[in-house]
Amino acid sequence: MTVATPELLTRFDVSGPRYTSYPTADRFVEAFGEDDYVLALKQRHLGSAAKAMPLSLYVHIPFCESLCYYCACNKIITKHHDRADVYLRYLSREVDLHTAHCGSGQIVSQLHLGGGTPTFLSDDGLRELMDTLRRSFTLVAGGEYSIEVDPRTVDAGRLKVLAELGFNRLSFGVQDFDPEVQKAVHRIQPAEQVFALVESARSIGFDSINVDLIYGLPKQTPDSFDRTLAQVNELRPDRIALYAYAHLPERFKPQRRIVWADLPMASAKVSMLSRSLDAFIEAGYVYVGMDHFALPDDALAVAKRQGRLHRNFQGYSTQPDCDLIALGVSAIGRVGATYSQNAKTLEEYYDLLNQGHLPIVRGLALSRDDLVRRAVIMALMCQGELNIESVEQSWLIDFRQYFARELEQLAEMEQQGLVELSTEGVQVTAMGWYFVRGIAMVFDRYLQSDRNRARFSRII
């Protein structure tokens, strides 16, 4: 059974945001700086309700030993692991500056280490980092503590260390098991290696294991990707993240090493996505939303069923909507009604910290309209439904008047079977879940007024 037709997938193959935030990061401005961020931290510290809400922490580790040609992340390629020792010292300074403004011991219920390659850090380096965080924050029992893992950088022994340090969720970067594809993107990792690591992780007792896949890579074909899908279903991770490769060599220099002629045609990408949806649903996975699948008993699938799904800069989360403190070069955070981003280069990041400054270089203070639309977009992205009365009571607006143009666009989507409109609100259909980015885009004021979407990846 096809869960989304190739015709609809092709129709909605347009560029658009992933909505890990609204407004999106491309709207951040340099006029927002350290003073604005410090004010947000102090307001959180003074507000009793905010202090009672758990924090989320994100730590960006930018280092990688080798270059993956498809990568669009902020990373530094180096074999010199001593560079990480210096970086950890600066991370400690950044943590201290945060606690100076918002106090120490604040409760943390979610921690994510991303990159780059977080497992570039040695075991001692990871211990030092976790000691730094625990010195300043309170990581509560039952929280989500996750780390991105390059299978080439760990073995069973290292996985045990991660568990001892308190990590309970792992995300393995697989992308594709096909050797020719791996060679084309400069990331060789045998399937046997990943299978052995997942087996070890299960025996150690990690709560959830995620596997990242990418379709649209060079040398991929629908048939070759079918073989990867079959291997992933045999591996049976708790969660699967399936991303479309966005080829933007003008923005991301590593992608210039990819041979354009080796990239699959648009029709082949659509076929890969359609067949992936079929394969995972038939294997018993729940489509959580926008690129993410989970086994029915995984916390993410449970949160979706119970209407508790949330979304932040790391993607979908089971944790309550909360402030996010972001640490490290280029990291993006959210405190109150503000977004902020750290310096994107190590040189600037280190320089600001040497001067005793938080390394904030840009951000955004959200307007009331931004907050209204964020609430609407996140309701669609996470719950798949929108209750008009609830929005009107929360924001004191006349929904149908405020969103008159948007409702006209949604009426067209209703004819395509993607949403159902009623006097009570908007309901995303089972088919519409596969195009939820496109539905959310209707409420994006910035995108509607600026139709130049070249800055974004394609939805499909």
3-state class of 129 per DSSP? helix
Q: 196 among the known binding-site residues? A: no
Q: 64 among the known binding-site residues? A: yes
**pLDDT of res. 348:** 98
Q: How far apart are CA 241 and CA 294, in angstroms?
A: 9
Predicted model pTM: 0.91
CB 189 within 8 A of CB 182: yes
Q: What is the pLDDT along the chain (460 residues), one digit of tens a residue?
A: 445 677 777 776 666 788 888 999 999 999 999 999 999 999 888 875 555 688 999 999 999 999 999 998 889 999 999 999 999 999 999 999 999 998 889 999 999 999 999 999 999 999 999 999 999 999 999 899 999 999 999 999 999 999 999 999 999 999 999 999 999 999 999 999 999 999 999 999 999 999 999 999 999 999 999 999 999 999 999 999 999 998 989 989 999 999 999 999 988 998 898 899 999 999 999 988 878 999 999 999 999 888 888 888 878 888 777 899 999 999 999 999 999 999 999 999 999 999 999 999 999 999 999 999 999 999 998 888 999 999 999 999 999 999 999 999 999 999 989 999 999 999 999 888 888 888 999 999 998 776 544 455 555 5
Q: 65 among the known binding-site residues? A: no
Q: 215 among the known binding-site residues? A: no
Residue found by looking up tokens 């990688």 in the block:
64
**pLDDT of res. 44:** 86
Q: 212 among the known binding-site residues? A: yes
Q: How far apart are CA 435 and CA 433, in angstroms?
A: 5
CATH topology of domain 25-325: pyruvate-formate lyase- activating enzyme (3.80.30)
Neighbours of 274 (CB within 10 A): 22
Q: 71 among the known binding-site residues? A: yes
Q: How far apart are CA 208 and CA 294, in angstroms?
A: 10
Supply φ then ψ for residue 29, to 5 degrees.
-125, 150
Delimit the domains of the chain by residue range: 1-23+368-460, 25-325
**pLDDT of res. 458:** 59
**pLDDT of res. 322:** 86
**pLDDT of res. 19:** 86
**pLDDT of res. 1:** 41
Q: 115 among the known binding-site residues? A: yes
**pLDDT of res. 454:** 47
**pLDDT of res. 352:** 98
- Cα 251 to chain centroid distance, Å, stands at 20
CA distances (Å), 3 to each of 6, 46, 274, 275, in order? 10, 49, 8, 9
Q: 332 among the known binding-site residues? A: yes
Q: 47 among the known binding-site residues? A: no
Q: 246 among the known binding-site residues? A: yes
DSSP 8-class letter at 231: H
Q: 205 among the known binding-site residues? A: no
CATH topology of domain 1-23+368-460: Arc Repressor Mutant, subunit A (1.10.10)
Q: Which amino acid is at 355?
A: Q
Q: 175 among the known binding-site residues? A: yes
Q: Residue 459: which of 434, 427, 429, 442 has the closest Cα? A: 434
Supply φ then ψ for residue 249, to 5 degrees.
-65, -25
Q: 70 among the known binding-site residues? A: yes
- Cα 446 to chain centroid distance, Å, stands at 21
Task: For residue 336, say if its preceding peptide bond is cis, omega within 30 degrees of 0.
Answer: no
